Each structure stands twice: as structure tokens, then as C-alpha cells.
Amino acid sequence: MYRIYHKYIIIHQKNTFNRMHIFVFKAFYIILQESTIILRMSDKIKYTLEYNIKSSRKVLFNRLSTAGGLSEWFADDVNVRGKNFVFIWDGTEQQAELVSKKDCKNVKFQWEEEDDDSYFEFKINTDDLTGDVALIITDFAEEDEIEDAKNLWDSQISELKHILGG
């Protein structure tokens, strides 16, 4: 896109366009470029799921934040290299960066292959009155894939509950 823009400016420079015209074309290109980024981000929609989990916060947090814990329910295998987590499903690897981690509260990952600001996050909440533990998952999906993504999370969380004994 830049090359087309660049040639377009050069063509118009030969036709004696002044600096103001070039400035307007550059400004238009910047606006167009920013709009493209906004459109790309709007392809995915943020959604949140909540699950009641019969477990202590500490045990649940271990299953959400460590390679060993995640490989029990989330992926076939998980390798960690610093803040980079490599998730393996059926021999296929996907890498995510650990963006934030607060002990027994939340874990947030961002896929490395994604061009946007999407992420997936696990939050642990405890009801003050009942002591019930809830796992809140935030994720992103394209509009036509949200139901499939939710079904996948339901399946994954079912496996997690089974492993936790509940």
C-alpha cells in the first residue's frame, strides 16, 4: 500500500503539485493506515465467560499459570522459555507471551502470531459471602466464531473441573 502511495505522490510531483498537495496526500495516507488498523482490530470481538470451580484459589492458579498445570487440561504439552509459553496441540505449536501474572488472582497471555491487541486472560474471583471460587475467562474471536470458541472453552473447563476433582 505504501509503494502505491509513494508512486502516486511521485506521479503528481511530476505534474507540478506543490508541497501542500503532497502534505494532504501524506495526511490522507496516515489516516487511511490508522483506519485499516482499527478495522483489523474490530474483526475480533471480546467476550467473557464465567465458571464456578470447586477448588482453592492456589490450586486453581497453579493449573492456570504453570506449564505442568496447563498441560493437564489446556494443551497436549506446554513449554516455557522465560515469558514465552509454547502450547502444543496434535504436534502443532502456538506461542503466547505471558503479559501479566498476579499471584492467585489472574494470568494474561497474548498470542504472538496475532496482529491485534487480542489476548486471553484467566481471573480468579472468590465470593465474599459464600467463599465460592469463580474462573472468569476473557478472550477474543471473530463474530462468526464466537459460539465455537465458547463451546471449546466449555469443553476445556470441563476437563479442568475433572482434573480438580469437581
Q: Which pLDDT value is given to residue 37?
A: 42
Q: Which pLDDT value is given to residue 1?
A: 31
Q: Which pLDDT value is given to residue 21?
A: 46
All 3 cell numbers of residue 133?
A: 471460587
Cα separation, 97 vs 67, whole angstroms: 13
CA torsion through residues 28, 29, 32, 38, sign = negative
pTM of the entire predicted model: 0.73
All 3 cell numbers of residue 48?
A: 467473557
Give average pLDDT by consecutive 10-residue segment, the chain, 166 residues: 33 41 43 43 85 97 98 97 96 96 97 88 96 97 96 98 91
Cα separation, 155 vs 112, whole angstroms: 24
Q: Which pLDDT value is given to residue 114?
A: 82
Q: Which pLDDT value is given to residue 161?
A: 97
Secondary structure, 3-state, 37-65: HHHHHHCEEEEEEEEEECCCHHHHHHHHH
Q: What is the CATH number of domain 44-164?
A: 3.30.530.20
Q: Which pLDDT value is given to residue 116?
A: 84
